[in-house]
Amino acid sequence: MISRGSAGESQACSPGRPLAGAAPGGRLAVLDGVRVLAALGVLFYHYFALPSAWDEPPESIFPTAHRFAVYGWLGVEIFFMVSGFVICMSAWGRTVGDFAVSRVSRLFPAYWAAVVFTSLVLFASPEIRQLKAFSDVVVNLSMLQGGIGVPNVDDAYWTLFVELKFYVLFALVVMRGVTYRNCVLFCAAWTLAGVVAPTSDSGVLSFFAAPASSPYFIAGIGFYLMRRFRPNAVLWAVVGVQFLLAQHHVHARMISSLGREATRQTPAWPAHVIIVLGFALMAALALGALDGVQWRWLPHAGAITYPLYLIHMMAGLTLIHRFRRDVAPVPLVLGVTATMLLLAWLIHRLVERPLGRLLRDRLRRGVQDIRSATPRGAGADRPPAPAPAPDAQHVPAGRQGASLH
């Protein structure tokens, strides 16, 4: 039975104990490898498939590479699947406050640095993108621009708002307690919402359902439950349904990424195959088939994928456009990629790590103040409260004492 198996596996894989195949710091090395592949796929797509930086069709510049680069946008879908896996794993045994602190301190430091960096590049060299107003940059710092109609400083940021919606929804699970049962119920409810939303008149349902993205988050959760407990028919059904839904949305995602005309000229079957490979890779990870992959460089490479994703697009395309007449295409792309990797590493070491720790510590104190209902230092400089009036002191001692708690 599932419940009996879950209990046994829960003891073997308690939240405070690294999973099998994890790096010494608790990271799954192969999961970092998946992140690297996804990030490089998105970068490959932006640099080799988008015409904006080259002022001419990229297929005429990179006739071979372009055939593969047009499918690099699928790296975003793989990122979403990894996110579902990681969020379910990291939220186990945490409170809503802990969950919120971990997400804010993880996402925002590198993001703030990326917004500032990209904005400076675009203000200094508005060749690819012109920022309409400084106020747009300020709003982008909140990461909420997708909800109020403010343009993204970098087009790659659209995925962050989708991630935020996932966090808000999964916080409901954290409030009830992250358990096997609650996670499966969440997967079922979100799947139903994603199926109903396209034909529904509810704006709120359509907003949170995210039918084109939710299959990947849900599949990631399903794969993590397989790894934490054991594969069973229910979890395979969860993942299988998401696989079918993901395949269904391929055509729409190709149109949104490539445009209708390019989609007509681009075979769809490689995109379907890449999704098959992505699900197969995550299944192998969930089943422990890749636990032997323990290359020491993978956690370091995985750590810079987030800042790399944040800074590579508009800044990289601007550099390519600036030097496209002076440097041959292949060396130029390699040079810009190396530059972005170096900047991502600097952001990780000099901003993300120290500011993340500082932000996490401060937010934890704030959460503790909320739990205690009285912020530290509150009332320290205030005069003592006056004694109650004599006619108010008739409250029985037992009740008065009880009211203090």
- 135-159: b (≥16 Cβ within 10 Å) or e: eebebbeebebbeeebbbbbebbeb
Sorting pLDDT into bands at 50, 70 and 90, what band is 200?
confident
Residue 329: CB atoms within 10 A of its CB come to: 16
Mean pLDDT over residues 121-143, rounded? 93
pLDDT of 334 strictly over 50: yes
pLDDT at 373: 66
Mean pLDDT over residues 137-154, rounded? 95
pLDDT of 331 strictly over 90: yes
- The full length of the chain comes to 405
By C-alpha distance, which of 104, 100, 82, 81 is closest to 91?
100
Mean pLDDT over residues 326-345, rounded? 96
Sorting pLDDT into bands at 50, 70 and 90, what band is 384?
low
pLDDT in tens, 387-398: 554 444 443 333
Please report, for the chain, the start and end positions of each structural domain, with discontinuous segments joined by +: 37-368
pLDDT in tens, 35-69: 999 999 999 999 999 998 998 899 999 999 999 99
Mean pLDDT over residues 244-261, rounded? 94
pLDDT at 15: 41
Higher confidence at residue 29 or residue 3? 29
By C-alpha distance, which of 364, 349, 301, 361 is closest to 110?
349
Q: Which residues contact 173 (CB under 8 A, 6 or more apart)?
A: 91, 182, 183, 186
pLDDT of 340 strictly over 70: yes
Mean pLDDT over residues 97-113, rounded? 96
pLDDT of 3 strictly over 50: no
Half-sphere exposure of 112 toward its Cβ, with a 13 Å CA cutoff? 13
**Contact between 71 and 271 (Cβ < 8 Å):** yes
pLDDT of 328 strictly over 90: yes
Mean pLDDT over residues 183-200, rounded? 94
Q: State percent of the chain over pLDDT 70.
A: 85
pLDDT, averaged across the chain: 87
3-class DSSP assignment, residue 227: helix
Mean pLDDT over residues 29-35, rounded? 92
pLDDT at 370: 85
pLDDT of 245 strictly over 90: yes
Mean pLDDT over residues 197-220, rounded? 90
pLDDT in tens, 278-301: 999 999 999 999 988 888 899 999
Alpha helices by DSSP H, 229-265: 233-248, 250-258, 260-265
Alpha helices by DSSP H, 287-328: 297-303, 305-311, 313-323
pLDDT of 24 strictly over 70: no
Mean pLDDT over residues 93-105, rounded? 94
